[in-house]
A and B are shown apart, each in its own frame.
Chain A
Amino acid sequence: MPTEMILDPAAAGARRFEGKVAIIAGAGQGIGRAAARRLGQEGAAVMAADLIEASAERVRSELAAAGVRAASFTGNLSNLENCRALMVRTKAALGRIDVLVNVVGGTIWTQSFQYYTPEQIAAEITKSFWPPMWLCSAVLRYMIEQRAGAIVNLATHAVASRYRVPYAAAKGGVIALTTSLAKEVAQYGIRVNVMAPHATQADDRVTPRNAGVGLAASELPPDERTERDRFFGDGFVGQRRGEFIDLEIPMKRFSRASEQAAAIAFLASDDASYITGQVLPVGGGATYPF
């Protein structure tokens, strides 16, 4: 790899994924894109999968420009058929599947639970619970056949926070999916772990949280809106600092997506060869309940 094309300097020269094939599900922006860059930096061939074609293609082309073998896949990964198609496509394009990183997901709305409509709740579960479930289900036969593989799912510190109950519940489910699946597949040499991020700055967000959802936001009473906005500040890259940073995070700052990617890369690599069924909180020191 030419030294002028560094995708992630934090790798510090490591090539832990040389000869490996990694799927990043939800690679188009934020933590997913950072993970694709880190694994590519360390020698992986990368399948960049995203709901948004332009996002998947952008990441594929920036990896390719740095000399990484890369392919892209576009599809809604809340649907099992698309998850299966992703695996078939990866096997065909890159020959095997060593690593699956499930970044797809993320809360669509933020508000107290009573303001969520049933349709909104269903949409949150569709977006954050079903992709890891279907992706894990779809990848297993390949990894069992190989007698090797590493899966990294994403959880969230929202499980111990506010204003995102349906999302939190979905991610609680992802944690249990991971911990119980880990015990079943250890015998095949497959590891399954969770990385649980807290507040992460995604300067590169271009796809809105409600992309493809087609539901209206709730009308919130002014005091509820004020309180929520005080809690979050004006967005994760805005000027006004959210209260939750001081309330929940001893480091008192947001994380960079590359810091989350570093933890994902660790769990996906052979450095974690004796680690499975675990939750690694990357939360600036916040206490994590699992």
Chain B
Amino acid sequence: MADSGSERSRPVLDARAAGARRFRDKVVVVAGAGQGIGRASARRFGEEGASVMVADIVAESARKVAAELDAAGVRTGTFVGDLCELKDCQALMARTREVFGRIDVLAVIVGGTIWAQPFQYYTPEQIEAEVRRSLWAPMWLCWSVLPYMIEQRAGAIVNLATSAVVSRYRVPYAAAKGGVIALSTSLSKEVARYGIRVNVVAPHGTDSDDRVIPRDYGLTIAGTKLPAEEVEERARYFGGGQFGGAPFDVGDSVRQEVPMGRKAEAVEQAAAIAFLASDDASYITGQVLPVTGGSTFPF
């Protein structure tokens, strides 16, 4: 191996990389890097040699992930802001360029359903909040990064979709992510000529042991009071965790939808994100890669 002894003795951020350094000298922005899939992606990119801009809405989360990467010898920067806002997205790109000199990869993890309930129980305010978080963040981030990548005549964007597009209890979030898929597929055809690739990873239920920020962080909108039988059914569907199912139960969502019969680990999603962001995917653009334990994905 060409790696120096000091690199070999650094803490391992993601053993799955198996020694790969596909992002050596690359600059990666991970939007929503504070926990879960975003944090796992930041660790994988860092493990493979990238300089990583850790962006999150929560300052403490961003700092914690940056510190983990720093300790492993990764060049890092942090950015704290609300990436549903265009001006924050533009500031993120300007800051990254200033700190690292370029932007090779944008991984858009920010997003995720805030509530889970049948559509009729969503209030109009809740629906708007879901779309703001899960559609507008990728829209503004892609739009903000384009001038940099077009100027470079190179770049790779990975957006996140979700198996929720063919599932239940998250209609507004599903609709937002359907929009993200179309954003990616149509944008990819426009920017192929500039050497920019745009792809989507579509996860199914993923364990985030490190979730510390609640789904409704920063929102003042109240949750809906659901009838008891809805609450029960939902708990059966999602299993153990935040929606109150039996502890350690994978839930009907996995039993009914996932042939592998288990949830994903965040590092499994990060591995797919890293693949699409890397030169290993140099002939892949405008595609949706389902990381779903075998469940059928409709796009």
Which of A's residues lie within 8 Å of B, judged by CB? 3, 10-16, 18, 42, 179, 182-183, 186-187, 191, 198, 250-252, 255-256, 259-260, 262-263, 265-266, 270-278, 280-288
Contact = CB atoms under 8 A, between A and B. Distances in A.
A15 B284 contact: no
Contact of B291 (A187, A259, A260, A275): A275
A271 B1 contact: no
Interface stretch (B11-19, B123-131, B232-240): B11-19
B72 interface: no
Given A250-B188, A263-B281, A280-B287, A13 B3 contact: yes
Interface of B: 1-3, 16-22, 24, 48, 185, 188-189, 192-193, 197, 204, 259-261, 264-265, 268-269, 271-272, 274-275, 279-287, 289-297
A280 B24 contact: no
B64 to A, nearest CB: 25
12 contacts: A13-B3, A14-B20, A252-B193, A259-B283, A263-B284, A271-B16, A274-B292, A274-B293, A275-B289, A277-B296, A284-B192, A285-B189
B283 A282 contact: yes
B161 to A, nearest CB: 13
A260 B193 CA distance: 20
A255 B282 CA distance: 9
Nearest to B20: A14
Contacts of B275: 266, 271
Contacts of A3: 2
Contacts, number: 130
A274 B192 contact: no
Contacts of A10: 279-280
A10 B22 CA distance: 8
The 3 closest A-B pairs by CB, nearest first: A14-B20, A186-B259, A250-B192
Given A14-B19, A271-B16, A284-B192, A278 B289 contact: yes
A249 to B, nearest CB: 8
A271 B192 CA distance: 26
Contacts of A262: 279-282
A285 B285 CA distance: 4
Nearest to B286: A285
Nearest to B206: A274
Contacts of A276: 259-260, 293-294
